[in-house]
Structure 1
Amino acid sequence: MFLHQKHLLKHSVFMLFFSAFLVGCQSTPNTKNMQAKVETRTTKERPLNVVKVSTDGVQDIQWTLTEIRSKKALYFKQFPTLKLNSSSRRVTGHTGCNAIYGTYQYDLSKRTIDLNVKAGFQSCDGALAQEADLASALQDVVRFELKSKQLWFYDRQGNIVIKAKSS
């Protein structure tokens, strides 16, 4: 019995050293093979992701807000922006201080739009008044008009609540 245990121990030690040898060989980089792999990766072409872009002149355009409730839009961390994504019907943008996000319903033929927008909660010195005006203006928007490279948003009374220009 003792001889059988001794044989098993020798066999186990041999397997341990052999395994360590194999692992060591595998972890030693072969720079010639690595170079070939790098070259292969850089020569492969990736398929193009086709992104649907609206041609209506309103959606899929980054709009920089120039006026909010007849007041000049101010720069804080950046100028306020708005973008309507035609494929997802999502609104993204910036108040100047916080990110804007939400959804929208849109009818180009009637020039109507319903925005459901929220903003982040970061505080910027002096930005609170503009953010409050922008938040209420976005909720009041019911109609839009495209004039050259400008987009105007109107409330129910026909007042211009937001003016924007394409970026």
Structure 2
Amino acid sequence: MVNEEQGRQTESQVPLVVVMGVAGSGKSTVGSLLAERLGVRYAEADDFHPPANVAKMSAGTPLDDEDRRPWLDAIGVWLAEHSDRGGVVSCSALRRRYRDRLREQSGARLFFLHLDGSEELVSARMAGRKGHFMPPALLRSQFETLEPLEEDERGAAVPVGGPPGEVTDEALAALTP
């Protein structure tokens, strides 16, 4: 866990959470469960990608920073719009500079929940996933790109080895005193 004390919420604070991690780590599943349990809105970051990004990833080509900029900005706007009532968004946010951009664009105090799992575990999950534009061939590039949370970032890492309900319980524990 990173910065456990900074991650704690008081009853008067409304959480604004970015569920981050590589493709196949469970961001969408845990993010939607977490939002439901917190009673806040949920957004899937994949829905913010422009069609060109989806086409590029579908073709097996990783996105570059220029591709990610408008995507991150759109997510930042969503976060800003939900800063007073809370919300959860699933977003890979693999690099520190992407997380910094989300913080800058949203102007909000974000909590980053890193869903952390081994490449072998996540690869096995991706192999069983159907209908997603992100091909398993890009997973290696995601692990190479991943920069774990740093000490000065508000957030926590939660292992993804268990069922989604257990992972969500651990996420809630990281958010609440």
TM-score interval for Structure 1 and Structure 2 normalised by the shorter chain: under 0.3
Flag the structure with more relative contact order, 1 or 2, with Cα contacts below 8 A and sequence separation at least 6: 2
Greater helix fraction, Structure 1 or Structure 2: 2
Larger radius of gyration: 1
TM-score, L = length of structure 1 = 0.25
TM-score, L = length of structure 2 = 0.24
Greater strand fraction, Structure 1 or Structure 2: 1
